[in-house]
Structure 1
Amino acid sequence: MNENEKKVIEQIVINTVKKLINEKDSPNRVVLGISNKHIHLSQEDIETLFGAGYQLTNIKDLKQPGQYAAKETVKVIGPKGCFEKVRILGPARPESQIEVSLTDARILGIQAPVCESGKLENTPGITLEGPNGKIALDKGVMVALRHIHMPLDIAARLNIKDKDWVSVETCGVRKTIFCNVLARVSDKYDYEMHLDTDEANAAGLKNDDYLKIIPNR
């Protein structure tokens, strides 16, 4: 390889790296976070499952400010099946909520609706078992609606408002366009898209992949 060929190859590499950096820095490029089944608990339910006055133990901060994975896990028991050691995410919430995939729901033997986090109306219940007790919840199991946490500055640049719907395009061998993605806009959010394990696996995605937002017009 002569010097001219080396310079051509070096320039190609430089241009490729610049292109990747520019794409990742573009406001319509959002990083992916894949959500496995997990639980959000009220403080009352935490104390029923783990003991009076119990506080969750933070073992890993999540990308969204103030959110973390707790050391504590519980058993989730459905009419047909169960899952051991399902991770709790903190901090405590006003109401308990269990987020699963459609595959998880079938294993448990329940029909969990696809809905926005926090919208617990018409969701089925489930039994949770911890080291200090058991709870039979009458609602709270859902398949979380695919969504994007979006800070105000990014939303303004993309002309997207809270509760708008967008589409998101992936790349790779199983290139996919996800429609009906809810934009959740707040100054309390870090920029991140959430899919569950079913959706991510179907599109061949992994954590920290970059996806492209296509605003619906």
Structure 2
Amino acid sequence: MTVKGNETLYRAIRDAVMEEIKAHNIELVQEKDQFIPVSVSARHIHLEQKHADFLFGKGYTFTKHRDISQPGQYSCVEQVTIKGPKSKMDRIRVVAPLRKQTQIEISRTDAIKLGVNPPVRHSGDLKGSAPLTVIGPKGKIELEEGCIIADRHIHMSPADASRYGVENHQKVKIEVDGEKGGMMYGVTVRISDRYALDMHIDTDDANAFGIKGQEYLKLIK
């Protein structure tokens, strides 16, 4: 068998093992090779109550589409349109539950299409972020701020953090294998007893590294 053939076989075996690990909730713990599950976060919006009322009608109840990786959070059936100076984008899914301040998360590619320049920020850090127009079935709102590009980050429980040997807000590196493999720098660790272990990247990062979601990636401190 050729070297290339050996590499292909190795990757196939590794991917099959990782699928079994995820399917059976087996925790993979190694001193040198520590792997993190990854999810791809597409463009979406979190709404505060008054904006939800204005866009969908007062007292409107959102319908769950599916659960997402963090406990108690879910994407909704309901969607909105966002509009910037250059263009608009339809079918932006609402993520629940409601928050204290409306937040829109998009990729850099989305931002270029819309004609806005959002900063790369932690979730909830919205001061001075980009303005956007949001259009719902019942109304329209003009946000003076609220649009960001979410930073690369890993959600962890305190127990996870202890196991991986990292601290809250620590910056780590993530190694990606495969045909478009490479290193992701500046990945923020976020620790809370409300979190489930998962790394979140946007669609630009996923496309750049050939990631589909649900892979396991190597954490390097």
User: After TM superposition, is the score higher than 0.5?
Assistant: yes
How far apart are residue 19 of structure 1 and its match?
A: 6.8
Q: What's the counterpart of residue 5 of structure 2?
A: none
With structure 2 as the length reference, what TM-score do the two structures score? 0.86
Residues 17 and 24 (structure 1), Cα distance of their counterparts in 2 relative to 1, 3 Å cut: farther
Establish whether residue 45 from structure 1 lines up as the match of residue 48 from structure 2: no
Q: 2:186 aligns with which of 175, 180, 186?
A: 180
Which stretches of structure 1, 4 residues or longer, exceed 2 Å deviation after superposition?
Answer: 15-24
Q: What's the counterpart of residue 84 of structure 1?
A: 90
How far apart are residue 24 of structure 1 and its match?
A: 6.3
Equivalent pair of 1:165/1:182 in contact (CA under 8 Å): yes
How far apart are residue 61 of structure 1 and its match?
A: 0.9
SS in 2 for 1:193: strand
Equivalent pair of 1:30/1:213 in contact (CA under 8 Å): yes
Q: What's the counterpart of residue 65 of structure 1?
A: 71
Q: Distance in 1 between matches of 2:41 and 2:134?
A: 20
Unaligned segments of structure 1, at least 5 residues = 1-11
With structure 1 as the length reference, what TM-score do the two structures score? 0.88
Establish whether residue 171 from structure 1 lines up as the match of residue 177 from structure 2: yes
Q: 2:28 aligns with which of 25, 31, 34?
A: 25
Q: Distance in 2 between matches of 1:72 and 1:101?
A: 20
Q: What's the counterpart of residue 124 of structure 1?
A: 130
AA in 2 matched with 1:119: D
Query: Deviation string for 1:133-181 (max 9, x for gaps)?
Result: 0000110000000000011111001221111111001110111110100
Establish whether residue 155 from structure 1 lines up as the match of residue 166 from structure 2: no
- 1:198-209 → structure 2 map (5 Å cutoff): 198-209=204-215
Could you tell which deviates more after superposition, 52-61 or 19-28? 19-28
AA in 1 matched with 2:94: I
Q: What's the counterpart of residue 8 of structure 1?
A: none
Establish whether residue 196 from structure 1 lines up as the match of residue 202 from structure 2: yes
How far apart are residue 100 of structure 1 and its match?
A: 0.3
Q: What's the counterpart of residue 135 of structure 1?
A: 141
Q: Which has the higher strand share?
A: 2
Q: Distance in 2 between matches of 1:18 and 1:97?
A: 37
Equivalent pair of 1:69/1:88 in contact (CA under 8 Å): yes
Equivalent pair of 1:29/1:210 in contact (CA under 8 Å): yes
Q: Distance in 2 between matches of 1:94 and 1:26?
A: 37
AA in 2 matched with 1:76: I
Q: Distance in 1 between matches of 2:144 and 2:29?
A: 44
Query: Deviation string for 1:184-215 (max 9, x for gaps)?
Result: 01111110000100011000111101101111
Residues 168 and 128 (structure 1), Cα distance of their counterparts in 2 relative to 1, 3 Å cut: same
Q: Distance in 1 between matches of 2:82 and 2:52?
A: 14
How far apart are residue 72 of structure 1 and its match?
A: 0.5
Could you tell which deviates more after superposition, 189-198 or 15-24? 15-24
SS in 2 for 1:155: helix
Query: Deviation string for 1:96-120 (max 9, x for gaps)?
Result: 0000000000000001111111000
Q: Distance in 2 between matches of 1:119 and 1:17?
A: 36
Q: What's the counterpart of residue 210 of structure 1?
A: 216
Q: What's the counterpart of residue 3 of structure 2?
A: none
Unaligned segments of structure 2, at least 5 residues = 1-9
AA in 1 matched with 2:59: G
AA in 2 matched with 1:195: I
